[in-house]
Amino acid sequence: MSRLGIAALALCAAAVAGGCGKKSEEASEPGPAKTESQESREEAQAQPPSQQPANPLQALEQMSKALSGRQGDQKAAPPIDYKKLKEALPSGSGWYRSEPKGEMMTMGQWSYSIAEAEYDKGDAHIECKLTDYAYVQALMSPFMMMFAGNFSRESDDGYEKSVMVGGNPGFERWEKKEKSGELTLMVGKRLIVQIEGHGITDPAVLQEFVSRIDFGKIGPLS
């Protein structure tokens, strides 16, 4: 998982785990409307101690169930064959491409597949990763939270912002001095596309790599 994904996962788990073990407080007077993420955390905290999760991973799963209830309760599905994901990765097209790698992993009742390749041209280096989380809400929730809303932050050093690429929600980061950036997208509500670049002069190259992914080789994503 990229730095964006890891950070989102850690924040999501910490947000819920931090509420475990707290004593329930008396109901307060009605205040401003709460966001769905706030309501989800409160649902997790309101459970009796015997039902509260014992570790952050369980807390994340608990929160994801609350989120999935608001998102149509999409059930998990078998992951896409990682070989198909490898075939969908962008070709070299002027870049030196490493040998694509892929695998399928299972953790208890969760399964997901992943494929990735690296690309080099001069000082520029690109990493492209496709991950099918197969509607597993506990794994998708960090990305759903990352893409929610319309976030934007810009400074002399670069920017971070919510984006839409080909109708798919995502998040883009650009650091001018380091000449590095990252673009993360959710495609078909199950496939996570991550493009990370270093030594690049224009963040547009990130979206250009997305346009070269052959989604037709993956098949239907619904």
- Digit-coded pLDDT (tens) for 77-106: 889 999 999 999 999 989 999 999 999 998
CA dist 61 to 11, 67, 104, 113, 141, Å?
14, 10, 20, 19, 9
Of residues 32 and 6, which shows the higher confidence score?
A: 32
CA–CA separation, 141 and 122 (whole Å) = 37
CA dist 34 to 40, 41, 63, 72, 186, Å?
10, 11, 16, 20, 25
Could you tell me whether strands 110-121 and 180-187 are parallel, antiparallel, or unpaired per DSSP bridges?
unpaired
pLDDT at 108: 81
User: Model pTM?
Assistant: 0.68
Q: Report, as an integer, the average pLDDT of 54-71.
A: 48
The angle formed by the CA atoms of residues 86, 136 and 8, to the nearest 5 degrees, is 85
CA–CA separation, 205 and 210 (whole Å) = 9
Is the model's pLDDT at 17 over the cut of 50?
no
pLDDT at 74: 65
Q: Report, as an integer, the average pLDDT of 213-220.
A: 90
CA dist 17 to 55, 56, 200, Å?
7, 5, 38
CA–CA separation, 169 and 112 (whole Å) = 20
pLDDT at 20: 43
Q: What is the mean pLDDT of the chain?
A: 77
CA–CA separation, 85 and 10 (whole Å) = 26
Cβ atoms < 10 Å from Cβ of 145:
19
% residues pLDDT > 70 (the chain):
66
Q: Report, as an integer, the average pLDDT of 152-176.
A: 95
| CB 85 within 8 Å of CB 130 | yes
CA–CA separation, 34 and 45 (whole Å) = 15
- In which band, very low, low, confident or very high, does the pLDDT at 141 lie, cut at 50, 70 and 90? confident
pLDDT at 49: 43
